[in-house]
Amino acid sequence: MASNKPTQPPVPPVQVPERDDSNAVVLERRTQRVGPPQMYQVVMLNDDYTPMEFVVVVIQEFFGKDLEAATAIMLKIHLDGKGVCGVYSRDVAATKVDQVLEAAHKAGHPLKCVAEPVDF
């Protein structure tokens, strides 16, 4: 049993609108600080069936990487099991994932791609 009574959290004061002679209500405008949007990284996952050349082409086509950068990302995917292809806002990342999955499906490859939130 608790020996002390629980205390109530302090209640913020109620803001009362000011009135002028015209009976119009005037509210105080508060500026809001908005932070940057949450960013998402597009990650490709390794599998044993998708050809390396196809992965390089997909990275070049959908992520705008040159041959050297695309090959480096492909090798990271192959060796580490996954690799980051780019960091984008949520909608752009989701679109990139859909494009990659559709291209892989059309080519008959089981390539997987996901978008993960980036932790800062």
For the chain, helix, strand, coil in percent to 5 are 35, 20, 40
Q: What is the pLDDT of residue 59?
A: 98
Q: What is the pLDDT of residue 109?
A: 97
Q: Please indicate, yes or no, if residue 15 is contained in any of the structural domains.
A: no
Residue 64: both structure tokens together: 């705008």
Tell whether 94 is covered by a domain.
yes
Judge whether 5 lies within some domain. no
Domain that holds residue 79: 39-117
Hey, how many other C-beta atoms are within 10 angstroms of the C-beta on 114?
Answer: 15
On whether residue 88 sits in a domain, the answer given is yes
Which two tokens mark 43?
A: 């990650």
For residue 4, being part of any structural domain is answered with: no
* pLDDT tens-digit readout, 23-74: 777 788 888 888 889 999 999 999 999 999 999 999 999 999 999 999 999 9
For 63, residues 6+ apart whose C-beta sits below 8 A from its C-beta are 42, 70, 85, 86, 96
Q: Is residue 27 part of a domain?
A: no
CA 100 to chain centre: 16
- CATH number of the CATH domain containing 48: 3.30.1390.10
Please tell me the pTM assigned to this model: 0.72
CA–CA separation, 43 and 77 (whole Å): 9
**Structure token pair of residue 31:** 């500026």
Nearest to 101 by CA among 52, 53, 43: 43
Q: Is residue 98 part of a domain?
A: yes
Q: Into how many domains does the chain fold?
A: 1
In a domain, 12, yes or no: no
Q: Which of 103, 64, 110 is nearest to 87 (CA)?
A: 64
